[in-house]
Structure 1
């Protein structure tokens, strides 16, 4: 029968719709039957279509040779930055160990805080937890890349003005410095400054010097949009005026401030 131009030939493999991964499990001690599992849309047909348009993938169907579902669903696969650019990013990380007391004993988990930047004003922060270090890092790094934003730098080397912020029990003051001064600050702040591309600055930490708190506080100070002008505290609480203006003053107060009498022009 001649193939009609209005109907596709279903016997011809399609580069997008025929992508699937199948695996057959033989009989075991749990069951005497064999089972076949077929996973479709893995990888996503939309990503494959984009690769075909860009010429990165040939229009051929490869059965049982696609990446596993675990690798395809990793957060690192869905970033908007190519892997070649991700390898050029600078990182600063803080690791802590958390132990959860359960009926079977203590379960140790890893928590990691990662600051990511390109050394030219781009900075982002991500946090991840997991039973081991690679799992925690695999969650924190993609989150930090998604949170990256440009920070304002004076002459591409230092901060614009003196800044002060309090995060929990940690209080930090950051001051701009002249050319060639370098970085005189806490070790965690030093690493974050290098990631962000700040070369001349000084910082002082009061109160708690917990590394987790210090990194969160300094990144919050550098990133824009944390606190609206003269309003709010940036922590999600009820907005309040940080610097209240003066109310309407009387003529006597104005005369006292100016040091001379006010002469009315309208009689």
Structure 2
């Protein structure tokens, strides 16, 4: 993602290039970096370096999708990402598609509401994916309570889970 930013001074406008770069290995490592400079090549190099320094591991469910439905709001941008069954593909905003492909996801859908500002979309997706220290529904990690989704209900069976998730489950025992 690149754009020209201009600073207004008493002597006139000073144009500079801003780059936001996303890097990934296609197997769970992903990072992004942003940089601004008057020389576009230098700005791109700085952004790529920052992206590599900010790389973090994202856990993939069955090596193809996200573990659970994720949602976030950043500014006026609201995003929901959902896990999908095998063969569904990546059906989402073009910027989210590039991030998910660089991470290694294959079956995810996402919807963006409100502002579709490119920078906010990218930052919100990274906030969702790299929230490994505070997984959804597991408390805040410092004594805050987790979510009780099915209080008073017994353990659900495999068939019921498959129907609810829309995909076959793979057994861990052989």
TM-score range, shorter chain: 0.7 to 0.9
Q: Is 2:21–2:33's contact at 8 Å kept on the other side of the alignment?
A: yes
Unpaired runs of 5+ residues, structure 1, are 1-93, 233-238, 246-256, 258-267
Counterparts of 1:1-267 in structure 2, within 5 Å, are: 94-225=1-132, 227=134, 229-231=138-140
Deviation per residue, 1:8-38 (Å, 9 max, x gap): xxxxxxxxxxxxxxxxxxxxxxxxxxxxxxx
Give the secondary structure class of the aligned counterpart of 2:46: helix
Deviation at 1:149, TM superposition (A): 1.3
Q: Whose strand fraction is larger, Structure 1's or Structure 2's?
A: 2
Q: Is 2:58–2:132's contact at 8 Å kept on the other side of the alignment?
A: no
Q: Is 1:220–1:226's contact at 8 Å kept on the other side of the alignment?
A: no
Distance 2:84 2:147 in 1: 30
Q: Is 2:66–2:82's contact at 8 Å kept on the other side of the alignment?
A: yes
Give the secondary structure class of the aligned counterpart of 1:181: coil
Deviation at 1:220, TM superposition (A): 1.3
Give the secondary structure class of the aligned counterpart of 1:126: strand
1:153 to 1:211, Cα distance in 2 relative to 1, 3 A: same
Deviation at 1:243, TM superposition (A): 6.0
Larger RCO, structures 1/2 (Cα 8 Å, 6+ apart) = 2
Structure of higher CA gyration radius: 1
Distance 1:125 1:186 in 2: 17
Give the secondary structure class of the aligned counterpart of 2:50: helix
Deviation at 1:225, TM superposition (A): 3.5
Deviation per residue, 1:208-230 (Å, 9 max, x gap): 10001101110111114454742
Residue 168 of structure 2 corresponds to none
Deviation per residue, 1:60-117 (Å, 9 max, x gap): xxxxxxxxxxxxxxxxxxxxxxxxxxxxxxxxxx112211011221001111111100
1:218 to 1:136, Cα distance in 2 relative to 1, 3 A: same
1:244 to 1:176, Cα distance in 2 relative to 1, 3 A: closer
Scaled by the length of structure 2, the TM-score of the pair is 0.77
* Aligned-residue CA RMSD (Å): 2.3
Distance 2:29 2:75 in 1: 25
